[in-house]
Amino acid sequence: MTRTDAVASLRYRVYWEDTDAGGVVYHARYLHFFERARSDWLRGLGFPQQTLKTQARRVFAVTRMDTRFLAPARLEDELAVSVHVERLRAVSVMFRQTAHRVADGELLATAEVHAACLNSDTFKPARPPDDMMAAIERYQQQQAI
């Protein structure tokens, strides 16, 4: 994970499995890239999702996503996918994410993602662990600098 202007930027390569018959990234695959970036971001903060589920009894579920597709990514492109915490609430986080082509910096897609923290046993809203909230708040403060 690299940080540019205090925003996590993670890199992913486009493979055949990500494309349609024309070698262009299939629109739904952008959701995969955005999900991977959020998962890798959490891991980078020290909170792997499997550990959250088994030890803290917490999972995150996307409750809403607004995605804009601006330009096509193609087979073997390298993508830089960002994670920006827009808003942090007691049991939810709103992210803004972007996907850029590394070679030329072109903006390919954007997403506004709303995720709720849930108890992994009941699937009812639950506050994330305090150390996780503190880590996200520190990250969010770094973004503001």
The pairing of beta strand 92-101 with beta strand 107-119: antiparallel
Bridge partners (DSSP) listed for residue 119: 58
Active site residue 130: no
Catalytic residue among 20, 66, 121, 131: 20
- Burial of 82 (C-beta count, 10 Å sphere; 0-12/13-18/19+): buried
- Chain-centroid distance, C-alpha 129: 19
Catalytic residues: 20
